[in-house]
Structure formats: C-alpha cells, structure tokens
C-alpha cells in the first residue's frame, strides 16, 4: 500500500497552526528562555553522516548566538546507545539533555517512563508541524503523545547506477536479477545498522504483498508465517552479493564509500535528497539515480526527545524550538543535509517519493535477531 501525503501548499511567510501550544510571547515561554541561558545541552545523536554533523555545527553556532546556549553533539554510532545509558542511570540525573530517537527505542523509553512529556504544548513552534500532511504523530505504530517532537522525514531509497538499475522502482525479484547479472556489486549494511534492517523490511513488505500483520504487534504465528519467505529469498540472494554475503558494510557511510569507488552499483540512504547533494559536490557519478521499492519507500519521522531526568530540560526545549523554526528547517533542507522539512510553510512534494508506512516497532528487533542467528556468524 502506498501512503500518499496530502500536501498543504503555503508560502514561506504563511503559517498554519496545527496544535494548541504555548505562544512565543507568553510569560511561560519567556521564563523558559530565561532559565535556559548559560546552559549546555548534551545532544546524543547519530554521528555517522558528515552532512548531518555539518548541519549540527551550523545549528550550534546559531543557538549560541541567539540564546546563549551551548549545544554539544555527543556522537553515537548506534541509536540504542543513549537508551542503554538512560536504563543504566535509572532515573538519576542524566548525562543526556536531548536525544535523536524513533522507532523501537522511542517505544521502549516511553513505556519505561524515561521521557519528559507534554513537549508539543510546551514548545511554540510545534504549532506549525504539518500534522495534516505528513505521518508525524505516530512513530512505528506508537503514538507520540507529546513525548517526542518530529524533526525531519526519512524515506528509504537506493542511490544507484542508472545503467544497472534502470526502472525507477525496485522489487525483490528485480534486485535478485541485478545481483545475478552484476555479481559482487550489490549488498546492504549489516543489521542491526538501521539502514540494513530497513532494507530487510522493504524486502519483507514486497515478498508478503504488504501483509497487514506487519503493521501490528508481531505475534508468534505471524512470525512463523511471514519470515520464512524472507530467509528463502536471502538464501538465494546472498551468494551473488559483495563478499558473497559473508561480510557486509558496517554502515550506510561505508557502503556509500564502496559505491563511490565503483566497487558497488548501489548504496542505501534514508534521505530522499542525498543523491542530489552527493552529485552536486561530485561525490558520486553523474549517472547516479535514486530508486525506491515498488510498494513505496518506507517512511518515518526522526524525532527529538528530552529525558525526564535531563539537567538542562529548559535549554533542550529552546533547542527543539529552534530546530523547528523556518530558518533551521530551511537550512536543513536546502543545505548540505537535504533532509525534508516537517513544518507546513516549507512542504515540497517534489522532495519526497511515494511513501510506505513503517512496520510495527516489534518487527524491528525480531528481524534483526533472526537475521543474526541465520547470517551473523
């Protein structure tokens, strides 16, 4: 099933309020700004993208200048790292003030009561989130309920050589045929790296005709009936992959490097505009194209959350508010990152692909663990 976004056209200087929230001129928000001054915000976020890191350096300068807040990017290699830290801290004053989160990590943190609530009503710029146009109120089947705030949209896609991946859409079967014709040039990041896990999800959606049980809590019966078709397919695919499927890139960044070196015919991305950014800086060949799976690109929001035990929660709220401003969202989209905006005034239908909803978060770990047992050795 395709998830077609309903886009609300708006000029950059028009604002469409979507949720009831505190006003920027209110005494409540002015108190938040005052309490935030002089604080440092330790932002635990994935550090595996040069473009994201460069954007955050820009944001750090802007936030320091405007609000006298020091944003410190604590780079993590896996999104589960801050989750493990919060679990170990067990409610004590946290080392984390702000975190980049979604999916099964958000579901766990919300269920365990580790997150600060009521963010949407406490942060002024959440009023302009495109909640009627984008799938940004539910995270992998889990309602956000004010415990996290959307920051951007991710859509799984392939960056590929046009000559090899000619049709604009890819299926499991067409991928297998390409791998057979172009042996050792196709691969995917090793799960649990999230690009690799999402690649497996895209295959599972295709191979099961988007079975409705994939979007519900994964029962034992559903696993027994749906997962074998994925393993049967991978058993056919792996012998034709780079390294014959006995080794995999550790990350999307490593796979992109192999693509740049023309060792591979494809790379993977969650940024629907990365291929254009890479071409504009001549990091990839001019013949590179963007491809997505026939059922639509698995689409989710990536979000910002504040631990309940964060020492600088007021400053973290100010950082989130800045990240949702038109200036910050515009720079995120048109600058080096190219990440699509989530506020109504900046929506651009051309920036995205036909979308497919995320699987229920319970499938994420199940797929990773089962893959590890079968292929991880």
Average pLDDT, the chain: 92
Can you list the domains of the chain with their CATH numbers?
A: 35-152+301-350 (3.40.190.10), 155-298+358-376 (3.40.190.10)
Is the pLDDT assigned to residue 4 strictly greater than 80?
A: no
Closest C-alpha among 302, 188, 346 to residue 256: 188
Does an H or E element contain 303, and which? Answer: strand 297-305
Token pair recorded at residue 24: 């920027």
Is the pLDDT assigned to residue 274 strictly greater than 60?
A: yes
Can you give 184-238 as a three-state secondary structure string? CCCCCCCCCCHHHHHHHHHHHHHHCCCCHHHHCCCCHHHHHHHHHHHHHHHHHHH
Give CA separation, 156 vs 203, 269, 295, in Å: 12, 6, 12
pLDDT of residue 5: 39
Gap between the Cα atoms of 83 and 91, Å rounded: 12
Helical ranges in the chain per DSSP H: 27-36, 50-67, 80-89, 103-111, 119-122, 172-181, 194-207, 220-237, 252-260, 274-280, 313-323, 326-334, 361-375
The residue written with tokens 């994925």 in the block is: 230
| β-pairing verdict for 98-101 and 70-76 | unpaired
Is the pLDDT assigned to residue 15 strictly greater than 70?
A: no
pLDDT of residue 14: 36
Is the pLDDT assigned to residue 3 strictly greater than 70?
A: no
Closest C-alpha among 147, 156, 44 to residue 100: 44
pLDDT of residue 104: 87
pTM of structure = 0.79
Closest C-alpha among 133, 145, 152, 268 to residue 202: 268
Gap between the Cα atoms of 264 and 169, Å rounded: 19
* Position with higher pLDDT, 304 vs 25: 304
Q: What is the DSSP letter of 94?
A: P
Gap between the Cα atoms of 109 and 46, Å rounded: 17
Token pair recorded at residue 307: 């631990």
Residue 160's DSSP bridge partners are 266, 289
For the stretch 221-258, pLDDT in tens is 999 999 999 999 999 999 999 999 999 999 999 999 99
Gap between the Cα atoms of 348 and 11, Å rounded: 11
For the stretch 75-98, pLDDT in tens is 998 889 999 999 999 999 999 999
Average pLDDT over residues 281-303: 95
């Amino acid at each position: 099933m395709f998830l077609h976004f309903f886009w609300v056209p708006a000029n950059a200087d028009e604002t469409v309020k979507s949720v009831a929230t505190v006003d920027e001129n209110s005494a409540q928000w002015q108190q938040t700004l005052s309490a935030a001054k002089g604080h440092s915000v330790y932002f635990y976020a994935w550090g595996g993208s040069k473009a994201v890191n460069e954007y955050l350096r820009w944001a750090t300068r802007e936030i320091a200048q405007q609000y006298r807040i020091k944003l410190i990017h604590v780079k993590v290699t896996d999104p589960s790292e801050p989750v493990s830290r919060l679990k170990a801290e067990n409610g004590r004053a946290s080392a984390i003030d702000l975190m980049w989160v979604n999916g099964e990590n958000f579901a766990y943190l919300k269920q365990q009561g580790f997150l600060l609530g009521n963010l949407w009503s406490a942060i002024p710029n959440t009023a302009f989130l495109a909640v009627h146009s984008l799938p940004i109120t539910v995270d992998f089947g889990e309602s956000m309920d004010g415990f996290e705030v959307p920051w951007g949209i991710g859509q799984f896609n392939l960056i590929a050589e046009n000559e090899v991946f000619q049709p604009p859409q890819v299926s499991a079967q067409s991928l297998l045929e390409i791998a057979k014709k172009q042996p050792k040039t196709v691969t995917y990041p090793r799960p649990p790296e999230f690009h690799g896990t999402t690649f497996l999800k895209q295959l599972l959606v295709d191979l099961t005709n988007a079975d409705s049980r994939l979007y519900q809590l994964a029962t034992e019966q559903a696993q027994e009936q749906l997962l074998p078709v994925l393993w049967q397919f991978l058993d056919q695919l792996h012998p034709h992959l780079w390294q014959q499927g006995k080794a995999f890139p550790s990350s999307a960044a490593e796979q992109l490097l192999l693509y740049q070196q023309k060792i591979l015919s494809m790379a993977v991305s969650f940024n629907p505009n990365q291929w254009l950014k890479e071409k504009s800086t001549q990091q990839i060949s001019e013949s590179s194209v963007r491809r997505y799976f026939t059922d639509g690109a698995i689409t989710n929001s990536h979000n910002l959350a504040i631990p309940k035990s964060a020492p600088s929660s007021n400053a973290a709220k100010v950082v989130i508010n800045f990240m949702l401003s038109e200036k910050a969202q515009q720079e995120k989209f048109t600058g080096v990152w190219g990440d699509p905006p989530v506020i109504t005034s900046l929506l651009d239908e051309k920036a995205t692909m036909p979308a497919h909803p995320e699987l229920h978060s319970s499938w994420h770990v199940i797929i990773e663990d089962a893959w590890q047992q079968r292929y991880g050795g």
